[in-house]
Structure 1
Amino acid sequence: MKTSPKPQSATSLPRAPREASDARNTKYLVMMVIRVICFILMAAITPYGWYTWLFAIGAVFLPYVAVVVANVGKESDVPEREVPDRQIAAEDQEVLPQDDTPLVITITESPMNPEDPSR
């Protein structure tokens, strides 16, 4: 098993599911507030003109955009995960280098002896 020269860091862990859900809900809520504002401005501002159509487009298409933005995970915020080392060593101990061959444990089952009453 290869050992990593740097220790495992708590900051390399992925985002907690609750934090990710809260972030998505916040994005969705902000976009829905913008949609309501677009709808109100579309109906309230007179005389009607090209900006009325802009507000209408915002009111119609923002729900779709909000769902897509809320459901897409932002991979750039997630740090690269580190694989923790399985070897535990004290600070004063010297870590022995290991070869690249993996340790393989083979478990075999012996055939059942019908004459053995203990089985």
Structure 2
Amino acid sequence: MNAHSMAKTAYSSPGQPIRTLRGTEYDLFARITHRLRTAIALDKSGFPTLARALHENRRLWTALAADVADHDNALPPSLRARIFYLSQFTQLHTSRVLAGEANADVLVDINTAVMRGLRNEGEAP
């Protein structure tokens, strides 16, 4: 098969729809939030599962903080600041959850609110 034939077959019948960056971010939030909810439902017996989900959530929020801290980020400054603040809150609250001083419900609430914002794809960011 030559390059031309390969290109035709690669683009003729896409197996997956074209995804937007917001759609990809939404899916990532949805997967992690689902893992958090599942781990919370396990109660104390699911602490290792909760710790893994919290770690994934922390990694997500760390990446978001780094992204909005970049001067080339196109989001409005006020939105960037709010996302950065939520990242800091998430980091601190996660430490409290891991120490047994808090529960993870508020982290699920935050992620769910972000997911709702990401679903409003027709609106300006």
TM bin, normalised by shorter chain, reads 0.3 to 0.5
TM-score normalised according to structure 2 size: 0.34
Q: Which has the larger radius of gyration?
A: 1
| Higher relative contact order (CA closer than 8 Å, sequence separation 6+) | 1
TM-score normalised according to structure 1 size: 0.36
The structure with more helix, counted as a fraction of residues: 2
